Amino acid sequence: MNVELHIERLILHGVAPGERYRVGAAVERELARLIEESGLPDQLTQGGARARLDAGSFAIDPGMPADALGAAIARAVYGGLSR
């Protein structure tokens, strides 16, 4: 199965501008890993697009490395795919 995931905009308040690409790359890596390991939620396996996804909220530690922040965001997004 091929999956195409397009994130048009990811708004991150409080993230240093120089870290945005590292965070974005970490989001992509972790989402790919989660989808590969756990698959897609049932409602997405039949195809479908969402104009917007509410990934909820989660806590981060001040000074969290970009890779860890991206992974946390990806886990929240993946959880939002099931709602």
Confidence of residue 2 (pLDDT cuts 50, 70, 90): confident
pLDDT of residue 12: 81
Q: At what angle do helices 66-81 and 20-38 cross, to 10 degrees?
A: 40
Rounded to whole angstroms, how far apart are CA atoms 6 and 29?
13
pLDDT of residue 1: 66
Which pLDDT tens digit goes with each residue over 16-71? 888 988 999 999 999 999 988 998 877 666 666 666 777 778 788 888 899 999 99
